[in-house]
Amino acid sequence: MTDWKQLLSNAGCRITTPRRAVMQVLMSSDAPLSPQEIRERAQAMHHELGLVTVYRTLKLLTELNLVRRIHTEEGCCGYVAVALGEACHHLVCTSCRRTVEFPCTGLDDTVAELERLTGFSVQNHWLELLGLCPACQAKQKVVIQRKEEC
C-alpha cells in the first residue's frame, strides 16, 4: 500500500501532504471521483488543499499509471486508483457508480483481425463497460414490482 510512494519517489517526485491526501481519498473510494469531489474529501486531511493542486496531482498520478481517468457519462468524468497498472479496464455501475477493475484480456483476436483488415498497427486501446451492480439490480427489481402493484 506504500507502493505508490516508492513509485513517486523513483520518478523524482516528492511525497507531499496534498499528494498523500489525494491518493488516500482515491484508494478509499470504489467509485470514480471528480476533481471537486476529491478536493472536498481530501480537505479532511489537508484543509488548505487547493483545486489546482488536485488537478496537478491527478495529472501526475495518471502519468504514473497509479490513477485512471474514466469517462462515465457524456461530459462527466472521474478518477479512480488502479491496482493492475496499465493493463486493466473498468466496469462502472450506471446507477451508484461503483467501479470494478478487471484485467485486459480477450481483445487480441479482434485487434489482430482488424490490423489485417485495415493495415493499421494498433498501439493502444480504451475500453469501459457500463452496467448495473448486484445491489442496484436488486433495487431496480423492487421498483418494477411496485409499479406492477399499482
Partner DNA sequence: GCCTTATTGAAAAACATTTTCAATAAGGGA
Partner DNA sequence: TCCCTTATTGAAAATGTTTTTCAATAAGGC
Q: Does 44 bind DNA (CB under 7 A)?
A: no
The length of the chain in residues reads: 150
Question: CA torsion sign, 98 to 104 to 108 to 114?
Answer: positive
> Rounded to whole angstroms, how far apart are CA atoms 11 and 8?
5
Kindly state the smallest distance separating residue 98's Cβ from a second copy, in Å. Answer: 9
Quickly list DSSP for 37-84.
HHHHHHTTT-TT--HHHHHHHHHHHHHTTSEEEEEEETTEEEEEE-SS
Distance (Å, whole) CA 103 – CA 136: 23
Contact positions with a second copy (CB under 8 A) in 85-144 = 91, 93-94, 100, 102, 105-107, 109-111, 113-115, 117-134, 137
Minimum CB distance to DNA, residue 9 (Å): 6
Which of 30/37 has CB closer to DNA?
37
- For residue 31, the SS3 value is coil
Helix (H, G, I), strand (E, B) or coil at 33: strand
Cβ-based nearer residue to a second copy, 6 or 141: 141
Tell me which of DNA, a second copy, none is bound by residue 105, counting a contact when its beta carbon lies within the kind-specific cut-off of 5 to 8 angstroms: a second copy
The residue among 17 and 102 lying less far from a second copy, judged by its C-beta, is 102
Return residues touching DNA (CB under 7 A): 9, 12-19, 34-36, 46, 48-53, 55-57, 59, 75, 77
Where does this chain bind a second copy (CB under 8 A)? 69, 71, 74, 91, 93-94, 100, 102, 105-107, 109-111, 113-115, 117-134, 137
